[in-house]
């Protein structure tokens, strides 16, 4: 039986070329996309989870090797369009340090590096689709040549499905961040509810370990409520 997957709703996705975000003019396709169904061989192999090594779920370190910043535990549930968990999903995450600096040669931000901050992780979702990361809350950073646009704290995710063609690259934001209101990337999603789905919620501080704030997030990988490609 053929599996029918709901198309993503356009208003829940980024809207092409965005005024104030110059790079979108270069990145966005100039022609309408052509829908090309995947072939059986594309959908049957190679299996992603077997080929990628799982790196670590701890970007913050410990003791005198601990990264600077607010320690957080991030609990991400990876689900399908019906809210069913997707165990075995490979999730890659990366973000900047607490001062807003990435571990990347192209980062020109004049902010200090943190030798104890690792910057990236690759983890596997467990039986309940849960991915857990221990890290520090990323800082905001200025976007070069943008006239004062600062990116709000955010975490980049690359979510791999069973095969290489099945991949979603998106971003997660934090609740109650004033910079969320003006971020050109978050606000390229026109539907307020869809924007809201991109924002992790702070769990009650009585919940979880005493030394870290816990943020919870649901990552929908397909269907009308799928996380946007960002």
Active site (annotated) includes residue 156: yes
**Options 8, 95, 134, 151, the catalytic residue:** 151
Largest CA distance in the chain: 56
DSSP string across 123-139 = EE--TTSEEEEEEEPPP
**Of 21, 73, 77, 102, which one is the catalytic site residue?**
102
Are the C-beta atoms of residues 170 and 155 closer than 8 Å to each other? no
How does DSSP assign 8-19, residue by residue? PPGGGSB-SS-T
Pairing of strands 199-202, 167-174: parallel
> Is 102 a catalytic site residue?
yes
Q: Which residue(s) pair with 154 in the sheet?
A: 173
Give CA–CA dist 163/215, Å, rounded.
Answer: 29
Q: How far apart are CA 69 and CA 211, in angstroms?
A: 12
Q: Which of 154, 195, 197, 222 is catalytic?
A: 154
Residue 153 tokens, joined? 């704290």
Q: How far, CA to CA in Å, does 158 sit from each of 41, 43, 109, 164, 229? A: 23, 18, 23, 12, 10
- Which of 8, 21, 141, 195 is catalytic? The answer is 141
CA 143 to chain CA centroid, nearest Å: 18
Q: Give the list of residues 6+ apart from residue 164 with CB closer than 8 angstroms, or none.
A: 46, 48
What one-character DSSP code corresponds to residue 67?
P
141 catalytically annotated = yes
Active site annotation includes 151: yes
Is 118 known to be catalytic?
no
Which residues, including other chains, have CB under 8 Å from residue 43's CB and lie 6 or more apart? 163, 165
Among candidate residues 122, 156, 162, 167, the one labeled active-site is 156
Residues with a known catalytic role: 102, 141, 151, 154, 156
């Amino acid at each position: 039986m053929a599996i029918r997957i709901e198309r993503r709703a356009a208003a829940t996705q980024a809207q092409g070329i965005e005024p104030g975000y110059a790079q979108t003019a270069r990145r966005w396709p100039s022609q309408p996309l052509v829908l090309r169904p995947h072939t059986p061989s594309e959908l049957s192999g190679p299996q992603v989870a077997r080929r990628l090594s799982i790196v670590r779920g701890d970007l913050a370190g410990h003791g005198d090797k601990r990264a600077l910043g607010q320690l957080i535990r991030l609990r991400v549930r990876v689900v399908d369009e019906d809210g069913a968990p997707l165990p075995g999903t490979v999730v890659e995450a990366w973000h900047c340090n607490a001062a807003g600096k990435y571990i990347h040669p192209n980062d020109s931000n004049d902010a200090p590096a943190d030798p104890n901050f690792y910057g990236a992780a690759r983890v596997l979702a467990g039986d309940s689709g849960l991915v857990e990361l221990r890290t520090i809350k990323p800082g905001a950073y200025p976007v070069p040549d943008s006239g004062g646009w600062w990116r709000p704290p955010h975490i980049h995710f690359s979510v791999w499905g069973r095969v290489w063609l099945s991949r979603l690259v998106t971003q997660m934001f934090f609740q109650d961040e004033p910079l969320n209101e003006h971020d050109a990337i978050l606000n390229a999603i026109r539907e307020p509810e869809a924007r809201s789905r991109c924002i992790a919620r702070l769990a009650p501080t009585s919940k979880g370990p005493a030394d870290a704030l816990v943020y919870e997030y649901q990552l929908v990988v397909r269907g009308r409520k799928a996380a946007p490609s960002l």
